[in-house]
């Protein structure tokens, strides 16, 4: 299956041509599917709603019989060993999971544009992007098939999961390529205003270096930072990130810049935690329906925790900043009634109901794993350090999961395998932590935090340091706060 994608900047469309070639004359119909959601974006988007003008022909242009059989399925009846499919995709959304085309750029999440054959997602695929006459760049984490900078640029994916995990930015955006720690990188910026006066380049390298130091491995050869204009949201990918920004690298304050870099650290660390270290349900993907897992509190919540950790280790925030960072999540959870009605584990399942659910009673009946997940990240880090006299930590759990399941077994972990990994690192089960994940029982902050020489002021919900601590308490506190 080879694709060609052209851009209609006037009508805000992507024109797609797919050539399907088989080894022999096909006797059976071919079912083509388009995903209805994007991994990491836990919402049914129903991409086929944007598709129009579907056509099927043989290689000589004669029409073929076809029929729509599902909301995201087209059955084609070929008469030879190859055929062509053409269709258009409307692209006028401002989202990290949906397409946008205007006079200057085209942002293309490929899972919302390109079809796969039912049961054949493991096959390799080539995609050609045709640039309009006045456009210069195609930026993506996909592997380029040649080094040309021409009007037709070709890329390869080993399978459709890789293809759908690789968004594309086309246009006249700012492009800067660089090498770091033996890998290749590309900055693709829709709005580079203020970049030259900022420390962004140096700071993002510090974040990447901190992540590499922790995980002891870099699982890609090329990584692309796709930073879009003013808007909201970001989406992680194994070989790239796609994030909206404020539209400028000129920030009102140091605090607002630090919040932006936290955002970048979060999406970057996701290439380890959720793309490589992943719940077993998250890949290979079923793109037809919701994929449920009880472990998003690890995939997302721990990533929030580690965005704060990486910022601290990179020297981009202070230990007080980190304490304030975690304190904000504690305040959010503890000041809302929802933590008494929804467990952290349940929030992983119900994200499909609540991703953009802003109902008036939300704070009273539910929580977000983005808020409670980092709290458990801190408490589990402290607990493992306590159990091992500060010889092991949550870092060791993450490395164990990465090496055993991603690198050795080449699959995700089950819920029980996650808790067994924690037990293996700590030397004993983390029963209390699991209880806090599985239930709505109140967290005993005084008990859990004291082991790191910390306490919680329950009037302000701020984390504070305890005085007159033991050497072990002081060592754990210094390790977590990178002091």
Whether residue 26 has pLDDT greater than 90: no
Whether residue 277 has pLDDT greater than 80: yes
Cα separation, 441 vs 340, in Å, equals 7
Average pLDDT on 14-23 reads 94
pLDDT in tens, 292-331: 999 999 999 999 999 999 999 999 999 999 999 999 999 9
pLDDT at 24: 82
Whether residue 23 has pLDDT greater than 90: no
Whether residue 148 has pLDDT greater than 90: no
Sign of the torsion formed by the C-alpha atoms of 259, 264, 269 and 274: positive
Whether residue 381 has pLDDT greater than 70: yes
CB 181 within 8 A of CB 150: no
pLDDT in tens, 412-448: 999 999 999 999 999 999 999 999 999 999 999 999 9
Q: Model-level pTM?
A: 0.96
Q: Across the chain, how many H-helices and E-strands are there?
A: 14, 22
Average pLDDT on 387-408 reads 98
CATH architecture classification, 2-169: Sandwich (2.60)
pLDDT at 360: 87
Do 173-268 and 2-169 fall under one CATH topology? no
Please give the full DSSP string across 263-303, using - where no structure is assigned: HHHHHHHTTTBTTTB-BTTSSS--TTS----S-HIIIIIIH
Average pLDDT on 400-409 reads 98
CATH architecture classification, 272-483: Orthogonal Bundle (1.10)
pLDDT at 146: 79
Residue range 173-268, CATH number: 1.10.390.10
Q: Largest Cα–Cα distance in the chain?
A: 84
* CA dist 137 → 4, 16, 169, 199, 220 (Å): 16, 19, 8, 24, 22
CB 3 within 8 A of CB 13: no
User: pLDDT-derived band of residue 147, with 50, 70 and 90 as boundaries?
Assistant: low
Domain boundaries, the chain: 2-169, 173-268, 272-483
pLDDT in tens, 154-173: 999 999 999 999 999 999 99
Q: What is the mean pLDDT of the chain?
A: 96
pLDDT in tens, 88-126: 999 999 999 999 999 999 999 999 999 999 999 999 999
CB 84 within 8 A of CB 62: no
Q: Which two tokens stand for residue 29?
A: 């119909």
CB 329 within 8 A of CB 375: yes
Whether residue 137 has pLDDT greater than 80: yes
For strand 222-230 and strand 240-245, is the pairing parallel, antiparallel, or unpaired? parallel
Buried b (16+ CB within 10 A) or exposed e, 108-129: bbbbbbbbbeeeebeeebbbbb
pLDDT at 253: 96
At residue 190, what are phi and psi to the nearest 5 degrees? -70, -35
User: pLDDT-derived band of residue 358, with 50, 70 and 90 as boundaries?
Assistant: confident
């Amino acid at each position: 299956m080879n694709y060609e994608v052209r851009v209609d900047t006037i009508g805000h469309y992507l024109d797609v041509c797919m050539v399907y070639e088989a080894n022999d004359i096909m006797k059976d119909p071919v079912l083509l599917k388009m995903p209805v959601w994007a991994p990491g974006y836990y919402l049914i988007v129903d991409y086929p709603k944007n598709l129009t003008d579907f056509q099927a022909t043989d290689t000589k242009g004669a029409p073929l019989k076809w029929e729509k059989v599902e909301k995201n399925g087209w059955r084609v009846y070929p008469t030879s060993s190859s055929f062509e499919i053409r269709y258009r995709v409307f692209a006028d959304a401002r989202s990290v999971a949906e397409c946008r085309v205007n006079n200057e750029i085209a942002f293309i999440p490929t899972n919302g544009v390109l079809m796969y054959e039912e049961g054949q997602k493991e096959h390799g695929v080539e995609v050609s992007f045709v640039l309009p006459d006045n456009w210069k760049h195609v930026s993506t984490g996909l592997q380029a098939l040649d080094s040309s900078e021409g009007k037709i640029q070709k890329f390869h994916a080993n399978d459709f999961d890789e293809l759908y995990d690789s968004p594309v930015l086309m246009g006249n955006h700012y492009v800067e390529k660089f090498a770091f720690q033996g890998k290749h990188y590309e900055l693709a910026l829709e709005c580079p205003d203020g970049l030259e006066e900022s420390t962004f380049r140096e700071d993002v390298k510090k974040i990447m270096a901190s992540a590499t130091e922790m995980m002891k491995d870099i699982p890609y050869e090329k990584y692309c930072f796709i930073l879009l204009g003013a808007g909201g949201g970001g989406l992680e990918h194994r070989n790239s990130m796609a994030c909206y920004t404020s539209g400028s690298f000129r920030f009102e304050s140091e605090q607002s810049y630090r919040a932006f870099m936290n955002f970048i650290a979060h999406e970057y660390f996701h290439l380890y935690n959720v793309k490589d270290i992943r719940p077993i349900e998250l890949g290979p993907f079923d793109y037809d329906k919701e994929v449920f897992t009880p472990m998003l509190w690890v995939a997302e919540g721990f990533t929030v925790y580690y965005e704060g950790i990486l910022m601290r280790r990179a020297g981009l925030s202070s230990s007080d900043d980190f304490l304030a960072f975690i304190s904000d999540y504690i305040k959010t959870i503890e000041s809302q009634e929802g933590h008494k009605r929804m467990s952290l584990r349940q929030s992983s399942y119900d994200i499909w109901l609540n991703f953009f659910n802003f109902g008036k009673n939300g704070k009273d009946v539910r929580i977000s794993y983005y808020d409670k997940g980092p709290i458990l990240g801190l408490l589990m880090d402290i607990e493992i350090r306590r159990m091992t006299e500060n010889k092991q930590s949550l870092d060791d759990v993450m490395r164990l999961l990465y090496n055993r399941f991603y690198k050795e077994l080449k699959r995700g972990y089950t819920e029980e395998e996650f808790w067994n990994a924690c037990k293996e690192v700590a030397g004993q089960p983390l029963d209390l932590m699991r209880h806090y994940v599985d239930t709505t029982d109140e967290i005993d902050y005084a008990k859990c935090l004291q082991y790191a020489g910390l306490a919680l002021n329950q009037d302000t919900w701020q984390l504070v340091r305890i005085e007159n601590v033991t050497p072990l308490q002081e060592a754990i506190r210094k390790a977590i706060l990178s002091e």
